[in-house]
Amino acid sequence: MPDPIRLSLNREAAQPQRGKHRIFIGMAAGVGKTYRALNSLREHLEAGEDALIGVLETHGRHETVQAAEGLPLFPRRELQHGNVTLSELDVDGLTLRHPEIVLIDELAHTNAPGSRNEKRWQDVEALRDVGINVLSTMNVQHLESLNDTVARLTGVRVRERVPDHVLHDADELVLIDLPPEDLRARLRAGKIYSADKIEQSLGNFFTVPNLTALREIALRHVAQAVEMDVPDGQPAAHEVVVVAIAAEDTAARLIRRGGQLAERLHGELHVVTVRSERLSQEQSRLLDTYREINEALGGHFEVLEKGEGIGTALVTYARRVHATQIVMGETSRSRWAELWRGDIIKYVLRQTQGVDVHVISRD
């Protein structure tokens, strides 16, 4: 296994009693995140600390099973779902047991129905709130803001996602880096998946271009997360990114693009939509989804009144929040509608001098 790249974020906790969080992050399954986390847990035990495994997903991997041998394992909570018995992390039990350190594998995991929280990362936050330190693992493609980028580069849409603020609120990131060919060699050797899945995986997700892109994303994203931690805790310049969306399928991509921009600039994210007289049930559902994505990215969501027009409403809002960047999608209006009602993008460009306007292609 390669040596991990350990990056301390040096954050001063607002609440000193809150548990610390160390995330082992990698570009894909099989790079050795869980293996490293288990070794870290063992080191804490050997140092005399009260440490145990809260939940471990070995996927039958021999190296992972071997690394976990002899480590104390806290029993999972069993949940009945129909005729199936499922097991999940026992948050309440761990809260009562209150170890110093607990290992919680696969941060992006979705919990079974009936669990205390919908997502495992929420379980981690609950344990930290009561002062328990956590070691966790995740792959970079599960970050909310990278969902569209990963789908475009790899052709795979990741369904289980972790809000970016979870990564940024961590006390330490440990990047487990592995060259693509080395990871493919591990896959061929049967160290990641069973024999019947090897060839399919090599030809689909685990191609050299895919792994190279994911590796680059992991390196850059972790570096950006560390750069955000400036000495005085304040961004060097106050940037405000406003993303204008409509209740359309393409809006999620705009929000994530705006989130990436706000992160790089260490600025605020604002997502706005102008109120329509009539929203279909599907449009209302889309806006609810976009609120959740925006919340996961740590942004502000606001519905604006149309007033004198969509362009006017957007410009007024941008001025009110002192926007420095505006992200808009290529118009979905017909050419006739643009001539009759005016081009919103052109209006915003004319009325927002000194503001960078990013127009994202619908493709």
CATH code where residue 146 lies: 3.40.50.300
Indicate whether 179 and 263 sit together in one domain. no
Looking at the structure of the chain, the number of domains it has is 2
Indicate whether 301 and 205 sit together in one domain. no
Query: What is the spatial distance between Cα 277 and Cα 93, in angstroms, rounded to a whole number?
Result: 49
Buried b (16+ CB within 10 A) or exposed e, 78-97: eeeeeeeebebbbbeebeee
Residue with tokens 């919990």: 111
| Per-residue model confidence as pLDDT tens for the chain (363 residues) | 555 665 556 555 445 589 999 999 998 999 999 999 999 999 999 999 999 999 999 888 888 999 999 999 999 998 877 788 888 999 999 999 999 999 999 999 999 988 999 999 999 999 999 999 999 999 998 999 888 888 887 788 888 999 989 988 998 888 888 888 999 999 999 999 888 889 988 988 888 888 988 888 888 777 766 655 544 444 444 789 999 998 888 888 899 989 988 888 888 999 999 987 788 888 888 898 899 898 888 899 999 988 878 889 999 999 999 898 899 887 655 444 444 445 788 888 888 877 888 888 765
Position 230 scores a pLDDT of: 47
Alpha carbon separation from 305 to 289, 314, 317 (Å, rounded): 20, 10, 10
Contact predicate 155/149, CB 8 Å: no
Indicate whether 63 and 191 sit together in one domain. yes
In the three-class reduction of DSSP (H, G, I as helix; E, B as strand; rest coil), residue 12 is classed as coil
Alpha carbon separation from 340 to 146, 332, 343, 344 (Å, rounded): 37, 14, 9, 12
- DSSP type of residue 162: B
Q: Looking at the domain assignment, is residue 255 inside a domain? A: yes
Indicate whether 157 and 254 sit together in one domain. no
Which two three-digit tokens encode residue 18? 């809150």
Residue (of 281, 21, 252) closest to 138 by Cα position: 21
Residue (of 93, 92, 117, 89) closest to 103 by Cα position: 89
Position 129 scores a pLDDT of: 96
Question: Domain of 314?
Answer: 240-360
Bridging pattern class, strands 84-88 and 77-81: antiparallel
Indicate whether 31 and 174 sit together in one domain. yes
Residue with tokens 């029993």: 75
Position 14 scores a pLDDT of: 47
What stretch of H or E contains 358? strand 356-360
Indicate whether 332 and 211 sit together in one domain. no
Bridging pattern class, strands 172-176 and 5-8: antiparallel
Indicate whether 215 and 291 sit together in one domain. no
Position 243 scores a pLDDT of: 95
- DSSP type of residue 141: G
CA 354 to chain centre: 31
Contact predicate 328/261, CB 8 Å: no
Position 10 scores a pLDDT of: 57
Find the CATH number of the domain harbouring 342.
3.40.50.620
Indicate whether 150 and 295 sit together in one domain. no
Query: What is the spatial distance between Cα 317 and Cα 13, in angstroms, rounded to a whole number?
Result: 33
Indicate whether 31 and 179 sit together in one domain. yes
Where in 82-213 does DSSP place strands (E)?
84-88, 101-104, 133-139, 172-176
Q: Looking at the domain assignment, is residue 49 inside a domain? A: yes
Phi and psi, residue 294, nearest 5°:
-60, -45
Contact predicate 245/327, CB 8 Å: no
Q: Looking at the domain assignment, is residue 286 inside a domain? A: yes
Indicate whether 190 and 41 sit together in one domain. yes
Position 172 scores a pLDDT of: 87
Indicate whether 178 and 265 sit together in one domain. no
Position 5 scores a pLDDT of: 60
